[in-house]
Structure formats: structure tokens, C-alpha cells
């Protein structure tokens, strides 16, 4: 097969793959939201798409379904270009994805959210879909803090602090986009955003008052030390981490 991305394939080749045992499918769940003055609004969708593709390749006998491109981004709506789904809308999209894929014979469906605001809705949706289709395996990695920890551990190896690596448009996301879409990155605009502590209180402030309450430029972290080489490592390590976690869920 030339590709495992179903959006780039035709139906006879997809059918052939399913008949040959490609009955696992992976779906990234991204977002369209501001990512500071230097990254494109589709940052999380690009990351989710790459993660899902690499995951599917590593997992084996797996196809990738079209990444859900829009997510729950209400706290970024103060910035132009952001499009936000309400949680019930995202859950309804996941329900429709699941129903479509089930009809075609997929037996394991793996959802991989790549945007923090999606995790809660994806978690609930997976639970509901699993109850609706008990004979299938519907799973996903929905522990946002676990994913952040994985990324921060990689940052530490590069001697980049958690504050620089950041939770939004900081060093790690910028490195990832440099690695696979550097033409969309404005390196001339790299500069620090919010670099303070990011605990429950700060997260609550962002959710209740919006991102400008913490960072006027919409950045949590500092992209200055970002590089494509680091981005490739972030991707590889995150895929390794997700494979291990999903394997455990399916045991």
C-alpha cells in the first residue's frame, strides 16, 4: 500500500485493506485556534494528524481516518481565526465517526486528541460509544496531564524548562511544527509568552476569562529554542508513549 491515510485512498483499496485484516483505525482530534503570532491556527490539527499517522504505522495493520480538524477552543475565541465546537458537538462528531467506521467493518477505533480542550469531551464520547458498541474496542488516550508529562520529560533532556516548553505555542509545539510544516512558522516573531506557574488556578483563569488573561499574545511558553530536530524527537517519543498506553488499555 502506498498510504494508510484513507482520505488519500480510494474505496476499493480501502476495502482490500479491510479484507486483509486492517480492521483497526486511528483518528486524531485537533483544533483550529490561535497559536501565538508565530504558529498557524491549525497547529493542533497538524500535530494530531502526524501523531495518528505515525501511531498507525507503528501499530501495524491499521488505517488512519481523516483527523477531526476542529475542537473545543472557547478560551481562544478572543483571537481571530479561532473556531470552537461546544463539547456536545464534538461528542456528536465522534459518535458519527464511530458509526460510520463500524459499518465498514473496523473493530478497533482509537481516538487521539492533540488539543487540551478536547480531552474531556473525547473521554466522555469514547465511554458512550464503547457502551453503544460493546462488541468492539473503542479507546483513546485522554489523560492530558500524562501527555504533558511525557512531553516535559523530553524537554528536560534538551535542557528546556517546563515553562519554556509550555502548554500552548511554546517550545515543544513550535518544534513539532518546524519539523513538519516549517513554511508555516514565523521565526522572526519568536518571543516569550506567559512563563509563570501553570497550576489549577491559572488553568481556571484561562477557562473562565480566556487566554488573554494570562498571555496577551496567546502563548504559554517560549518558542525561542525550538528546532525541527527537537520536533522530530518529540513526535517519536510521543508515539512511543501512546503506543504503550493504548496497548495497556487493550490488554
Instruction: Give min distance, CB of 59 to Zn ion, in A.
Output: 24
Considering only the stretches 10-18, 38-46, 103-111, 201-209, report the one whose residues sit in contact with Zn ion under the rule CB under 5 A: 38-46
76 vs 225 by CB, closer to Zn ion: 76
170 vs 152: CA distance, rounded Å: 12
Contact 168, 176 (CB under 8 A): no
Sequence-distant (6+) residues with CB within 8 A of 92 are none
In sequence order, what are the beta bridge partners of 194? 220
| Length of the chain measured in residues | 251
Candidate ranges 13-21, 42-50, 85-93, 155-163; the one touching Zn ion (CB under 5 A): 42-50
Tell the smallest beta-carbon distance from residue 102 to Zn ion (Å): 30
Site for Zn ion in 147-206 (CB under 5 A): 173
Query: From the CB of 113, what's the least distance to Zn ion, in Å?
Result: 11
Q: Does 49 bind Zn ion (CB under 5 A)?
A: no
Of 14 and 232, the one with the shorter C-beta distance to Zn ion is: 232
Region binding Zn ion by CB under 5 A among candidate stretches 39-47, 145-153, 219-227, 233-241: 39-47
Binding mask 89-128 for Zn ion (x = CB under 5 A): ----------------------------------------
Interaction between residue 44 and Zn ion (CB under 5 A): yes
Q: How far is the CB of 82 from Zn ion (least distance, A)?
A: 12
Minimal distance in Å, beta carbon 30 to Zn ion?
8
Q: Which range touches Zn ion (CB under 5 A), out of 22-30, 35-43, 62-70, 219-227?
A: 35-43
Point out which span in 41-49, 71-79, 130-138, 149-157 binds Zn ion (CB under 5 A).
Answer: 41-49
Which C-beta is closer to Zn ion: that of 101 or that of 167? 167
> Binding residues for Zn ion, per CB under 5 A?
43-44, 173
Amino acid at each position: 500500500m502506498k498510504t494508510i491515510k484513507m482520505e488519500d485512498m480510494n474505496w476499493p483499496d480501502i476495502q482490500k485493506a479491510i479484507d486483509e485484516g486492517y480492521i483497526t483505525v486511528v483518528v486524531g482530534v485537533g483544533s483550529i485556534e490561535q497559536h501565538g503570532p508565530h504558529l498557524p491556527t491549525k497547529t493542533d490539527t497538524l500535530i494530531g494528524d502526524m501523531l495518528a499517522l505515525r501511531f498507525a504505522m507503528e501499530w501495524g495493520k491499521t488505517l488512519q481516518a481523516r483527523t477531526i480538524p476542529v475542537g473545543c477552543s472557547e478560551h481562544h475565541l478572543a483571537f481571530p481565526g479561532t473556531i470552537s465546537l461546544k463539547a456536545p458537538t464534538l461528542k456528536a462528531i465522534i459518535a458519527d465517526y464511530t458509526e460510520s467506521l463500524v459499518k465498514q467493518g473496523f473493530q478497533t477505533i482509537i481516538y487521539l486528541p492533540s488539543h487540551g480542550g478536547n480531552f474531556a469531551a473525547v473521554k466522555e464520547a469514547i465511554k458512550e460509544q464503547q457502551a453503544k458498541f460493546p462488541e468492539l474496542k473503542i479507546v483513546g488516550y485522554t489523560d492530558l496531564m500524562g501527555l504533558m508529562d511525557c512531553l516535559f520529560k523530553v524537554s528536560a533532556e534538551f535542557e528546556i524548562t517546563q515553562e519554556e516548553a509550555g502548554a500552548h505555542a511554546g517550545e515543544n509545539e513550535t518544534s513539532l511544527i518546524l519539523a513538519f510544516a516549517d513554511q508555516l512558522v514565523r521565526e522572526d516573531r519568536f518571543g516569550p509568552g506567559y512563563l509563570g506557574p501553570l497550576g489549577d488556578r491559572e488553568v481556571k483563569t484561562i477557562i473562565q476569562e480566556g487566554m488573554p488573561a494570562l498571555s496577551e499574545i496567546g502563548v504559554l511558553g517560549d518558542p525561542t529554542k525550538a528546532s525541527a530536530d527537537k520536533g522530530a524527537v518529540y513526535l517519536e517519543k510521543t508515539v512511543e508513549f501512546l503506543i504503550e498506553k493504548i496497548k495497556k488499555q487493550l490488554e
